[in-house]
């Protein structure tokens, strides 16, 4: 029986030294991973906060919610003064004096002041009640021009407007402006004896004095 020493011993497999293998794993783990450009930029933004002096970047939401430029507040400027009422002048006249009233309105509206005038047959609401329209016209106007003529004295609606104007502002100097035409001083209405009137016998029919009276009153409320 042959002894066991007669068989050749098996060859041992070549093994990698443990030291070299540990170095290889260490290098693999310590090698930095290359990130995509977007991820790298994001990590750079997070890791490096912007300076206080730098404005924050504008996103879509901030651009859409940008505060609009300030606009002129029409409501605030129109709450007082001349623009607190719809008209500067209400011309009270009889039906037979319509032509003279239209000439006066054309003169006032065509002046440099561009006065806003109420003319009954032109500006009254169609279908509106006469009483309510006349009262609304007076309350919506700063000044009232009474075109006092023989026709005015005979018209009950003209007398109603005259009394209504006096009752609304009895002590407001300059708001009620009598323009007398075709009458003598003796025919001047007794209700108006406490105030001066504009004489319509002049070359311009007293229109210039009426305009100046309206402008003086508007200056007191501006």
User: What pLDDT is stored for residue 129 in this prediction?
Assistant: 93
Contact between 166 and 198 under an 8 Å Cβ cutoff? The reply is no
Domain 87-221, CATH 3.30.70.1060 — does that match?
no
User: What pLDDT is stored for residue 156 in this prediction?
Assistant: 94
* Residue 59 confidence class, pLDDT cut points 50, 70, 90: very low
How does 200-217 read in b/e, with b if 16+ C-beta sit within 10 Å?
A: beeeebbbebbbebbbeb
Ranges 6-20, 78-92, 96-110: which has the least confidence? 6-20
Residue that wins the pLDDT comparison between 9 and 69: 9
State the average pLDDT for the chain: 76
Strands, DSSP E only, in 75-203?
Answer: 87-92, 117-119, 141-148, 176-180, 198-199
> Any residues with CB less than 8 A from the CB of 210 and at least 6 apart, and which?
104, 108, 145, 177, 179, 198
- Tens-place pLDDT, residues 175-204: 999 999 999 999 999 999 999 999 999 889
Q: Report d(CA 198, CA 30) in Å as an integer.
A: 105
Cross-strand bridge partners of residue 97: none
Domain ranges of the chain: 87-221
Instruction: Tally the residues of the chain.
Output: 222
User: What pLDDT is stored for residue 62 in this prediction?
Assistant: 34
- Tens-place pLDDT, residues 130-167: 999 999 999 999 999 999 999 999 999 999 999 999 88
């Amino acid at each position: 029986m042959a002894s066991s020493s007669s068989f050749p011993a098996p060859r041992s497999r070549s093994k990698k030294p443990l030291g070299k293998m540990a170095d290889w794993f260490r290098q693999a783990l310590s090698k930095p991973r290359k990130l995509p450009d977007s991820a790298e930029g994001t990590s750079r933004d997070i890791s490096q906060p912007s300076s206080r002096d730098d404005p924050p970047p504008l996103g879509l939401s901030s651009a859409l919610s940008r505060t609009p430029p300030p606009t002129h507040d029409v409501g605030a400027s129109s709450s007082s003064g001349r623009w607190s009422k719809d008209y500067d002048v209400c011309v009270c006249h009889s039906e037979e004096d319509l032509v003279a009233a239209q000439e006066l309105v054309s003169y006032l509206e065509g002046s440099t002041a561009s006065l806003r005038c109420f003319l009954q047959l032109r500006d009254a609401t169609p279908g509106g009640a006469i009483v309510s329209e006349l009262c609304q016209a007076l309350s919506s106007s700063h000044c009232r021009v009474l075109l006092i003529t023989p026709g005015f004295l005979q018209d009950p609606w003209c007398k109603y407007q005259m009394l209504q104007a006096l009752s609304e502002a009895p002590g407001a100097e300059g708001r009620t402006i009598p323009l007398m035409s075709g009458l003598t001083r003796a025919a001047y209405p007794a209700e108006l004896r406490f105030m001066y009137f504009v004489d319509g016998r002049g070359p311009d029919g007293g229109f210039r004095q009426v305009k100046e009276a309206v402008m003086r009153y508007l200056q007191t409320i501006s």
